[in-house]
Amino acid sequence: MIADNLKEKAKILEVKNLNVELEGNKIIEDLSFEVEKGEVLTILGPNGAGKTTLFRALIGLLPFKGKIGWQKGIKIGFVPQRLPFIKNIPLSVKEFLELKNVSRQETEAALDSVGMQKEILDNNIGGLSSGQFQRILVAFALVSNPEVLLFDEPTIGIDIGGEETIYNLLGKLKKERNLTVLLITHDLSIVYKISTNILCLNKKALCYGLPKEVLTAENLARLYGEKIKFYSHVHD
């Protein structure tokens, strides 16, 4: 291990013995993990494993037992999976980004970060392609210059334009803006490339650690059942 003194660098999030119950059902049981500055923690797990519930608890939307400790005053950006109601609202891209009450420059800087032109600002949100919409969701999270990005399952394989995947974009943003990232995904092929840590979640933490250590066939079988095979040498 390189150095214990590096361990001293800023701890951004500490979760200890977290329990979340919804209507009498235990969704998350006795979960503990930590996130340090600059890490990319990927949260893996089958549907219904409590991944989105974990995010909702982390931002303070759900009651919980145990400890969720964010670094004081930290700014969080949230990229939701879907926004099912937004197309029901007559809303331009500019108006959507400005719901955050920020300056024009910040809006344009965020657009620039996700590789979009100013011209898109006057477009209606409902008329965007799904790739454009995904970029705008990321831009929305970036507008207020967050230090941490919570990213709830970006759609896999979506063409967001210019041969770029949402994960290339995420990697670029992380570097440019020195972000810490918590990422929910199903996409095993990118996990290796981007993650510094993995948390396998199915109600409880089934594995937690460095990708190379925890992404074993055995762990994945425990997490998803026997069907999934994972080839660590496959890179696209």
Partner 1 sequence: MISQFELSLIAGIFIGGIAGYIGTLMVVRRMSVAADPLSHLVLPGVALGLLFNFDISIGAILSITFGMILIWLLEIKTKLSTETLIAVIFTLGAAFALLILPGADIEEVFVGDISKINFSSAVISVVLAVILFFVIRKFYSKMILTEISEELAKVEGVSSKKMLFIYLIAVAIVVALGVKIVGGLLTASLVAIPAATAKNLSKNLFQYSILGIILGVLSSFLGIFLFKFLPLPAGILITLTGGLFFFVSLIFKR
Q: Which residues bind partner 1 (CB under 8 A)?
A: 55-56, 59-61, 76-78, 80, 83, 85-86, 88-92, 95-96, 98-101, 124, 140, 144
Q: How far is the CB of 87 from partner 1 (least distance, A)?
A: 10
Closest CB 121 distance from partner 1, rounded Å: 10
Between 45 and 77, name the residue whose CB sits nearer to partner 1: 77
With respect to partner 1, which residue has the nearer C-beta, 80 or 171? 80
**To the nearest whole angstrom, how small is the minimum distance from the Cβ of residue 56 to partner 1?**
7
In the complex, least distance from residue 223 CB atom to partner 1, rounded to whole angstroms = 25
Question: Rounded to whole angstroms, how far apart are CA atoms 118 and 198?
Answer: 36
The answer to whether 111 and 120 are in contact (CB under 8 A) is yes
Q: Which C-beta is closer to partner 1: that of 64 or that of 78?
A: 78
Q: Give the HSE-up count for residue 130: Cα atoms under 13 Å, Cβ half-sphere.
A: 12
Nearer to partner 1, 103 or 216 (CB): 103
- Parallel, antiparallel, or unpaired: how do β-strands 148-152 and 76-79 relate? parallel
Q: Residue 172: exposed, middle, or buried by beta-carbon count in 10 A (0-12, 13-18, 19+)? A: middle
Determine the Cα–Cα distance for residues 217 and 200; give it in Å rounded to an integer.
13
CB of 225 to partner 1, least distance (A): 29
User: Rounded to the nearest 10 degrees, how much is the dihedral formed by the CA atoms of 70, 74, 79, 85?
Assistant: 90
Q: Helix, strand, or coil here: 54? A: helix
Distance CA 114, CA 108 (A): 10
Q: Which is nearer to partner 1, 53 or 202 (CB)?
A: 53
Q: How far is the CB of 39 from partner 1 (least distance, A)?
A: 19
Distance of alpha carbon 233 from alpha carbon 30, whole angstroms? 33
User: For partner 1, which is the closer residue by CB, 30 or 147?
Assistant: 147
Q: Specify the residue for token string 């400005």.
A: 98
